[in-house]
């Protein structure tokens, strides 16, 4: 007769292997501007540095990074960013994205 596994043995979670990332050739760039566009197959995210963050810029914003992903990767990124922002706001408070409102609170 076969031995029936104990309840603890039956409910062990599957162990996920650790994902290894090689980032020795990464180039870090700061951005305070992003634009999202796309096609039916891909999402295009441009990043740049807006030298005039208050008001409407009078000069074109130089875009120096473009990331193109499929919508499955975009959705995973959306969830990862959402979870990260929720954790940050839980620890440090709500992030105000309106620059004018943020300036009023800092006075």
Question: What does each of the 107 residues of the chain score in pLDDT, given as a tens digit?
Answer: 566 666 555 666 778 788 899 999 998 999 999 999 999 999 999 999 998 877 788 889 999 999 999 999 999 999 999 999 999 999 999 998 887 787 776 66
Angle at 11 between CA 86 and CA 76, to 5 degrees: 30
Angstrom distance (rounded) from CA 91 to CA 45: 28
Angstrom distance (rounded) from CA 3 to CA 38: 56
Phi/psi at 24 (5° precision): -70, -20
Phi/psi at 68 (5° precision): -115, 125
pLDDT at 19: 87
pLDDT at 104: 74
Angstrom distance (rounded) from CA 86 to CA 83: 5
């Amino acid at each position: 007769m076969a031995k029936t596994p104990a309840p603890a043995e039956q409910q062990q979670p599957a162990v996920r292997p650790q994902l290894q990332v090689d980032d020795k050739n990464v180039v870090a760039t700061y951005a305070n501007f992003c634009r999202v566009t796309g096609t039916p197959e891909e999402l295009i995210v441009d990043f740049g540095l807006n030298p005039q963050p208050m008001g409407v810029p009078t000069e074109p914003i130089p875009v120096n990074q473009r990331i193109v992903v499929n919508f499955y990767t975009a959705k995973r990124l959306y969830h990862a960013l959402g979870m990260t922002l929720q954790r940050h706001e839980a620890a440090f408070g709500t992030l105000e994205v309106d620059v004018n409102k943020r300036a009023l609170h800092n006075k």
